[in-house]
Every structure is written in C-alpha cells, then in structure tokens.
Amino acid sequence: MRFLQRVATTGAAMGVVMALAAPASAHVVKDVGTYQLTVGWKTEPAYTGVPNAVYLAVHDAAGKAVDDIGDKLKLVVSTAGKTSDPLELALSFDEDTGIGSHGEFDAPIIPTQPGVYTFHFTGAINNHAVDESFTSSDSTFDEVVNPTVAEFPDKTPTAGEVATNVGRLGARVDAAKTTATSADDSASSAKTLGILALIVGIVLGGGALVLGLSGRRTSKP
C-alpha cells in the first residue's frame, strides 16, 4: 500500500514537473465587443525563412468557437517600418475531413527578417467593428529569430545573409569591371600614344634624312 502511495506521489510530482517544463503557447487574448480574440503565431518559435501563419481564434461571449466571422476582417503584418499587403484569413476547420479547429483562422506568411512583428486587424467581425494591433514581446507572442539558434551541428546562413553576401559580391564584381575597363582604356590610350610617337619619330627621322641628303648634294663642288 505504501509502495502504491509512493508511486502515486512520485507520478504526480513528475506530472507537475513535466507540465511546468512543457513549452507554453504564447498568445494574446483580448475582448472585442462580444467576441474574444486570441492572437499569435501559429508555430512558435517563429523562425526567419520558415513557413508560418498568423493565428486568430474567435469565441463568443459564451466561449463557443465562431466559424463564421463574415468577410470584412482584414489583416496586415508590419516589421521594421515595412507593411505587408492584406493577408487572407482562412478557417482552419475543414468540414469535409473534420481536420482543423473550430474558430481558428490562419493567415500563411513566411517571415524573412528577425525582429518585432505587429498584426493589425481592421474591419469587422460580423457587425462588430475591429481595429486592433498585437505586437510581439516577452508578454505577448514570440519575436521572429534566425533559425541558427536551433541548428546543429552546422549553422547555415539565412536567406537574408545570403542575399546580403550576394549583394556585396555584386558590388565587388561591378567595381572590378570598372577597374578593368579603366585599365583597358588606359592601355588603349598608351598604345595609341605609342603609335603616334612612332609615326612622329618616323616622320621626323625621314625629314632629317632628307635634309641631310639635300645638304650633301648642295655642298658638292
């Protein structure tokens, strides 16, 4: 009996530890009119270059999931002074297959830059006006980070780093082309000057020769 109590106690303690250790899904919950909105990333951590989605869950005042929110709700995402085109929110639940979750709407997006992101919802959910912004932070949902923090054993460059390196390489190639062109122009100019000097030398030499011969002829008795 004591053994069973110990097992039960140990199991309960392990359950508490596992619950505390389990990763929490970071989202923001806010009441808008008679609806409760839950907003965040669909997958966290959110990595640059990895397909993700803006997650929106809608429940009514009784806590029931709402699948029909009308077609007037709009969403844009912004970061680092840049704003996306409106993103399409699609209901997660599929009636034909039964796959997905009621009241959940996802807007696919691939974040390409690390940092703070803001989700701005405007328009309306049915007849309730909406104008709400949700920004990533320690108390809301995750900021976007580069996937190198989770890569092992090798760290691969991100798409942004590759683009930056390609841009730098392109600038170096352009500079090298400019230098080569200048060198070619200089070489061509030097060649042209050399030819002109040679022609001038020949002309002057020929003239001197003619004058010499003429002088010899004139000095004969």
pLDDT digits (tens, 9 = 90+) for 125-173: 998 999 999 999 999 999 999 999 899 998 887 766 677 777 776 777 6
How far is residue 102's CA from residue 64's CA, in Å, rounded to a whole number? 9
- Write the single-letter amino acid at 154: D
Quick check: helix, strand or coil at residue 163? helix
Quick check: helix, strand or coil at residue 8? helix
| Ramachandran quadrant class, 190 (left: phi over 0; alpha: psi -120 to 50; beta: rest) | alpha
Share of the chain above pLDDT 90, in %: 56
CB atoms within 10 A of CB 107: 20
Give buried/exposed letters for 56-94 (b at 16+ CB in 10 A, else e): bbbbeeeeeebeebeeebebbbebeeeebeebebebbee
pLDDT tens profile 31-72: 999 999 999 999 999 999 999 999 999 999 999 999 999 999
| Residue 34: closest CA among 164, 157, 124 | 124
- Beta strand 118-125 with 128-135 is antiparallel
CB atoms within 10 A of CB 52: 21
Give 16's pLDDT tier (boundaries 50, 70, 90).
Answer: very low
Cα dihedral 218→219→220→221 (10° resolution)? 110
Do you know the residue count of the chain? 221
